[in-house]
Structure 1
Amino acid sequence: MQNVILIVHLLLALSLIGVVLLQRSEGGGLGMGGGGGAMSQRAAATALGKITWILAICFIATSLTLTILAAQDASGVSVMDRLTGGAPAAEEPSTPGEIDTDSLLPPPSASGRETSPDAPLVPRAD
């Protein structure tokens, strides 16, 4: 159900973009320049204008429908539960002084030698 509404929503978005791009520009962007008497007269509603309104209303309706469906699916579920897959969070150590520092070290190098923290970043020529 949700996938069908999502597909209809995407088709509405694309058709709304197309209809808006097909409309004639009335010039005078943001009220600048000569717009003629268009500001004082009520412009006649064209067919493209009516289609734009219909598509916009349908687009808003599908947006609200998708929001309601998503809210129903997510009721009672935390975002953190979704990220961790429902697994409980890992317990913290009982005392703050016990930190596993071995997991912070890089793995041993491929040559089998251990790298020290003071080793130079550029390998020496042997």
Structure 2
Amino acid sequence: MEAVVLIVHLLIAVSLIGVVLVQKSEGGGLGIGSSGGAGGGMMSARGTANLLTRTTAILAGAFMLTSLVLAIMAGGQNRPRSIIDQMPPQQSAPSEAPPPAAPAAPQAPVSQ
């Protein structure tokens, strides 16, 4: 399920980039400006701008929605765990270990 949402999310992102790049600059910030065109039909300059603006808004909303869904899906699966919980169980040592042997007392040299 997570993979499907991720693929849809990527497709929306690529589509959003494409729609934004197709739009004409209306602010004139780059010196291009918008060239004139008369008429208010569906595919005139103004109609195309409205269509692209609506498409951008819809894709942006879908992008935000899939982002939230992915964040919720990723956060619900991983609960913080201690490293100690992840360690494999070790064999227990015997509870009554014999005490270490004391060193032997030095012996006097044997003369002949």
Shorter chain as denominator, the TM-score bin is 0.5 to 0.7
Match of 1:62 among 56, 59, 66: 66
Displacement of 1:71:
0.6
C-alpha offsets along residues 45-82 of structure 1, whole Å, 9 cap, x if unaligned?
610000000000000000000000001011x224x75x
Matched residue count? 76
Unaligned ranges ≥5, structure 2 = 35-45, 89-112
Displacement of 1:26:
1.4
CA distance in 2, matches of 1:55, 1:27: 22
- Secondary structure in 2 aligned to 1:25? coil
Structure index of larger Rg: 2
TM-score under structure 2 normalisation?
Answer: 0.56
- Secondary structure in 2 aligned to 1:16? helix
Unaligned ranges ≥5, structure 1 = 37-42, 89-126
CA distance in 1, matches of 2:27, 2:65: 31
Give the residue type in structure 1 aligned to 2:69: T
Alignment of 1:96-111 (within 5 A): none
Task: Provide the residue aligned with 1:3 in structure 2.
Answer: 3
The structure in which a higher percent of residues are helix is: 2
Give the fraction of aligned pairs with identical amino acids, expressed as a percent.
52
CA distance in 2, matches of 1:50, 1:2: 28
C-alpha offsets along residues 1-54 of structure 1, whole Å, 9 cap, x if unaligned?
00000000000000000000000011433xx97x79xxxxxx986100000000
TM-score under structure 1 normalisation?
Answer: 0.50
Q: Runs in 1 of length 4+ with deviation above 3 angstroms?
A: none
- Secondary structure in 1 aligned to 2:24? coil
Match of 2:55 among 51, 56, 59: 51
CA distance in 2, matches of 1:62, 1:19: 18
CA distance in 2, matches of 1:58, 1:6: 12
